[in-house]
Chains A and B, each alone.
Chain A
Amino acid sequence: MTFTHCDQPALDPPLAAFEEPARLDLDRVSVAYGGRPALTDVSFQVPHGECVAVVGPNGAGKSTLFKALVGLLPLSAGTILIHGRPLGHHRDCVAYVPQREDVDWSFPLTVSDVVVMGRYGRKGWLRGPTAHDREIVHEALRRMGIDALAERSIGELSGGQQQRVFVARALAQEPHILLMDEPFTGVDVTSREAILQVLDQLHQQQVTAMISTHDLNLAATRFEQVLVLNRRLIAYGSPAEVFTPDVLRTAFGGQALVLREGLVAIDQCCPPEQGGVH
């Protein structure tokens, strides 16, 4: 994949080359729902090409963070910079796969119709898909292992297949920043491995990724950076730095149970399909 289109802000002149800006830069960001704060004073930077796991208990604000990052929610304070520029000031090149797709599955669309939507933002809205677009769509389907379903109606898919279609659409966007909200919840081992494999490939291509998950084990073993959230930023760093009894107790409160020095069990009542104790 190439990122020529995305490399520079579309509207503003390119930044001076002497300093590579953080891909993602949050400065004292707060988000509230009708006056009730969901995130307070969150500041962090994700440098170029890093793959970050976002963890925290239910209601910690993981989904809220992602929605704020794509501009679906207004900030009540603070700033978000992408490529050093505020949201909406350029083609942001952010692809977002929500926690639960709120789409109408009875729409008369095939799997490839949905994935090709990932190309719409890039080539203007009036032109049809080119051969290049089709190739990228096919490649995205193949990477998610659903190329055999390309002409299937979306209403005829299983939940895990639906999830993979939306990951494939995000891939077809050729994003610079990929946000996925709990992509591993409710999918089988094959889908999970397909997503993880794609994340590895994207990592090699210098795509910045933030993935929320309730699977702390996965976060610790497959990600190089972990962000612990509970309405505030609790910790951000490598798994070894982050997964300490102190941090986990702060983030998960009574759910965290320090068994021995360095050995922690977390009781997350949800999601139900994962066991209670990690």
Chain B
Amino acid sequence: MTSWITTPLSYGFMQRGLLAAVMVGVLCAVIGCYVVLRSMAFLGDALAHSILPGVAVAYLLEGNLLIGALGAALIVALGIGLFSRHGVVKEDTAIGIIFAAALSLGIVLISTMHTYAVDLTHILFGNVLGVSSYDLRLTALLGGGVLAGLLILYRPFLVVSFDPVLASTLRLPEQLLRTLLLVLLAVTIVVSMQTVGVGLVAAMLVTPGATAYLLARRLPGMMGLAALIGALSSLCGLYLSFYLNVASGAAIVLVATAAFIVAYLFAPRRGLLWDRWRSQRSRTQTSGSAGVPD
């Protein structure tokens, strides 16, 4: 009866893959709440793509790909922070410039190689079933660090995101916190590279957070809910990919998307159908009177 659940777990690679996918799902979802609330989806996607040159250099030097990616992501995160600090160019312009340059550099480097085919698809779309126990430990370490950072600095990050004026009257180091959030985001993206790949990491950052936003009233609730949705999406997606024999990263993202659509339609207060239902009810109840005050 439950053998369809346990069968995949008898493979070591599936165990490791599941663990890695759930960790990444939770991590992306939690930091993704800030990505959603601060409209940083473009930044997340750009950061993800700009780690390509780092991976390429690491590959050429036969070093660790993860470390190469981390280096590139940190350089780009700090670069964007620096560029937009002086207000000469807007942040999304700075992102656009750096992102395109880094991606092009990555492609140039990779096109000088001859045996890139397999690894490149793994970088773009993930290879969660190829997770080694070393990778798993590294994921746990980096992911745990990011989550701890988000937890400890919860209030400063909240105030800087919500009300920069209050932040500066309370003398919070705004620029430092902003850059730190970018760095944490960069680490998250690198950690996710192996599970969902750089092509899909933006979805893992945004979709669970956006779903949770529709359901939760307060930020801690939104983060908890997003983590749950991220973890469940990873779990279901991986099982789907096992039985249907489809790409795992894409399956995870599609499950998360399905959850979003359900919430978008049925969420209380913010959902589409709820809205319909409420306006219909108020029309029948108070036909002729002032209706719902807005």
A120 to B162, CA, bound (A): 14
Residues of A within 8 A of B171 (CB): 71, 88, 92, 121
Give the distance to chain B from A31, nearest Cβ to Cβ, in Å: 16
Known: A103-B162, A103-B163, A120-B155. A108 touches B169 (CB 8 A): no
The interface-forming segment of A53-61, A109-117, A261-269 is A109-117
Give the distance to chain A from B147, nearest Cβ to Cβ, in Å: 16
Flag if B159 contacts A108 (CB, 8 Å).
no
A153 to B269, CA, bound (A): 11
Residues of B within 8 A of A120 (CB): 155, 159, 170
Contact among A72, A102, A104 for B169, CB-based, below 8 A: A72
Flag if B162 contacts A96 (CB, 8 Å).
no
Flag if B170 contacts A108 (CB, 8 Å).
no
A183 to B156, CA, bound (A): 27
Flag if B170 contacts A121 (CB, 8 Å).
yes
Flag if A70 contacts B213 (CB, 8 Å).
no
Q: How many A-B residue contacts, CB cutoff 8 Å?
A: 60
Flag if A104 contacts B218 (CB, 8 Å).
no
Flag if B165 contacts A108 (CB, 8 Å).
no
Q: B187-222, CB under 8 A of A: which get 1 and which 0? A: 000000000000000000000000001001111011
Residues of B within 8 A of A153 (CB): 217
Flag if A104 contacts B162 (CB, 8 Å).
yes
Flag if A108 contacts B218 (CB, 8 Å).
yes
Query: Which residues of A from 145 to 163 have beta carbons under 8 Å from B?
Result: 153
Most buried by A among B153, B162, B213, B219: B162
Considering only CB atoms, which chain B residue lies closest to A121 in the complex?
B170
Flag if A98 contacts B165 (CB, 8 Å).
yes
Interface range on chain B (Cβ under 8 Å from partner): 20 to 34
Give the distance to chain B from A178, nearest Cβ to Cβ, in Å: 12
Contact among A96, A98, A109 for B219, CB-based, below 8 A: A109
Residues of A within 8 A of B163 (CB): 101, 103, 117
A18 on interface, CB distance cutoff 8 Å: no
Give the distance to chain B from A276, nearest Cβ to Cβ, in Å: 29
A242 on interface, CB distance cutoff 8 Å: no
A257 on interface, CB distance cutoff 8 Å: no
A126 on interface, CB distance cutoff 8 Å: yes
A236 to B172, CA, bound (A): 33
Flag if B169 contacts A96 (CB, 8 Å).
yes
Known: A109-B218, A110-B218, A125-B155. A104 touches B37 (CB 8 A): yes
Residues of A within 8 A of B37 (CB): 104, 107-108
A94 on interface, CB distance cutoff 8 Å: yes
Give the distance to chain A from B236, nearest Cβ to Cβ, in Å: 25
Known: A108-B213, A108-B219, A108-B222. A72 touches B168 (CB 8 A): yes
Residues of B within 8 A of A92 (CB): 171
A110 to B221, CA, bound (A): 12
Flag if A94 contacts B162 (CB, 8 Å).
no
Q: B160-192, CB under 8 A of A: which get 1 and which 0? A: 011111101111100000000000000000000
Residues of A within 8 A of B155 (CB): 117, 120, 125-126
Query: Which residues of B from 35 to 74 have beta carbons under 8 Å from A?
Result: 37
Flag if B217 contacts A117 (CB, 8 Å).
no
Q: A61-78, CB under 8 A of B: which get 1 and which 0? A: 000000000111000000
Considering only CB atoms, which chain B residue lies closest to A156 in the complex?
B269
B118 on interface, CB distance cutoff 8 Å: no
Flag if A125 contacts B166 (CB, 8 Å).
no
Residues of A within 8 A of B219 (CB): 107-109, 113
Residues of A within 8 A of B88 (CB): none
Flag if A70 contacts B218 (CB, 8 Å).
no
Known: A107-B37, A120-B170, A125-B156. A102 touches B222 (CB 8 A): no
Query: Which residues of B from 128 to 160 have beta carbons under 8 Å from A?
Result: 152-153, 155-156, 158-159
Residues of A within 8 A of B168 (CB): 70-72
Known: A117-B159, A120-B155, A125-B155. A110 touches B217 (CB 8 A): yes
Considering only CB atoms, which chain A residue lies closest to B294 in the complex?
A158
Residues of B within 8 A of A70 (CB): 168-169
25 contacts between A and B (CB under 8 A): A70-B168, A71-B168, A72-B168, A72-B169, A88-B171, A94-B169, A95-B169, A96-B169, A103-B162, A103-B163, A104-B37, A104-B162, A108-B213, A108-B216, A108-B217, A108-B218, A108-B222, A110-B217, A110-B218, A117-B155, A117-B166, A120-B155, A120-B159, A121-B171, A126-B155
A108-B213, A117-B159 given; name 13 further pairs at CB < 8 Å.
A72-B169, A98-B165, A101-B163, A102-B164, A103-B162, A108-B37, A108-B218, A109-B218, A110-B217, A113-B218, A117-B162, A125-B155, A126-B152
Give B residues with C-beta under 8 Å from A.
37, 152-153, 155-156, 158-159, 161-166, 168-172, 213, 216-219, 221-222
